[in-house]
């Protein structure tokens, strides 16, 4: 807020040279400019988001907000060592399987889930996670990004 106050004071000082008047007006306008202009602008251009602990119920009910849980889930190895059945119980059915070029088929040991889209003005990627299994146990989680694509009526026909 101090930065906003100083900028307002300097700007208003170019309009009127009376320092006592520009100080009072800057003091009154600072909270409004900060909360209605500066703070929203910072939120739009930054991609900061809250980090949350893994919660199976929230994962299933709010798939668009999964990106908030994935960093902590990967860092804490929450899912590593769990069976496919337990992962299916916690996360629900996989959304798609990775493609294996060697087999020319989908790989049943690489499950993928969409994590939603992180907020930000210049973000054109969606977050995803790939869970890799070996011997029916989770060995790794890898998050990655994909370009957002939209289907049009022409593509559907």
Same-domain status, 26 and 96? no
Contact 133, 110 (CB under 8 A): yes
Q: What CA–CA distances, in Å, run from 12 to 23, 25, 88, 116, 138?
A: 9, 8, 61, 43, 61
E-strand ranges in the chain read 96-100, 105-116, 125-134, 137-147
CA distance 83 to 77: 14
pLDDT, position 113? 95
Same-domain status, 96 and 132? yes
pLDDT (tens digit, 9 = 90+) per residue, 40-59?
888 777 766 677 888 999 99
Q: Is the pLDDT of residue 152 over 90?
A: no
pLDDT, position 102? 86
Same-domain status, 105 and 64? yes
Q: What CA–CA distances, in Å, run from 18 to 22, 25, 41, 78?
A: 6, 11, 30, 62
Same-domain status, 72 and 136? yes
113 lies in a domain? yes
Domain that holds residue 77: 56-147
pLDDT, position 109? 93
Same-domain status, 61 and 38? no
Contact 49, 68 (CB under 8 A): yes
CA distance 77 to 48: 23
Same-domain status, 34 and 110? no
CA distance 80 to 114: 19
Same-domain status, 132 and 64? yes
What token pair was written down for 22? 């520009």
Partners of residue 114 on adjacent β-strands: 128
Domain count within the chain: 2
Same-domain status, 29 and 68? no
152 lies in a domain? no
86 lies in a domain? yes
Q: Is the pLDDT of residue 156 over 60?
A: no
64 lies in a domain? yes
63 lies in a domain? yes
pLDDT (tens digit, 9 = 90+) per residue, 89-125?
999 999 999 988 888 899 999 999 999 888 777 778 8
Same-domain status, 18 and 72? no
Question: What pLDDT band is residue 140 in, cutting at 50, 70 and 90?
Answer: very high
Q: What is the mean pLDDT of residues 3-7?
A: 89
Burial 119-150 (b: 16+ CB within 10 A, else e): eeeeeeebbbbbbebeeeebeebeeeeeeeee
50 lies in a domain? no
Q: What is the mean pLDDT of residues 20-37?
A: 90
Same-domain status, 30 and 85? no
Same-domain status, 82 and 126? yes
133 lies in a domain? yes
């Amino acid at each position: 807020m101090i930065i906003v106050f100083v900028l307002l004071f300097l700007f208003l000082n170019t309009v009127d040279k009376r320092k006592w008047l520009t100080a009072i007006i800057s003091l009154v306008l600072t909270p409004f400019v900060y909360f209605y202009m500066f703070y929203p602008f910072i939120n739009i251009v930054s991609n900061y988001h809250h980090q949350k602990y893994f919660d199976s119920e929230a994962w299933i009910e709010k798939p668009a907000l999964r990106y908030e849980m994935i960093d902590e889930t990967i860092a804490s190895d929450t899912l590593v060592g769990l069976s496919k059945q337990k992962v299916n119980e916690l996360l629900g059915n996989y959304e798609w399987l990775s493609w294996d070029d060697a087999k020319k088929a989908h790989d049943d040991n690489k499950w993928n889930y969409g994590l939603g889209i992180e907020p930000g003005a210049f973000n054109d990627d969606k977050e995803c996670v790939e869970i890799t299994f070996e011997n029916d146990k989770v060995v790794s989680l890898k998050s990655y990004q994909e370009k957002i694509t939209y289907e049009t009526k022409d593509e559907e026909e």
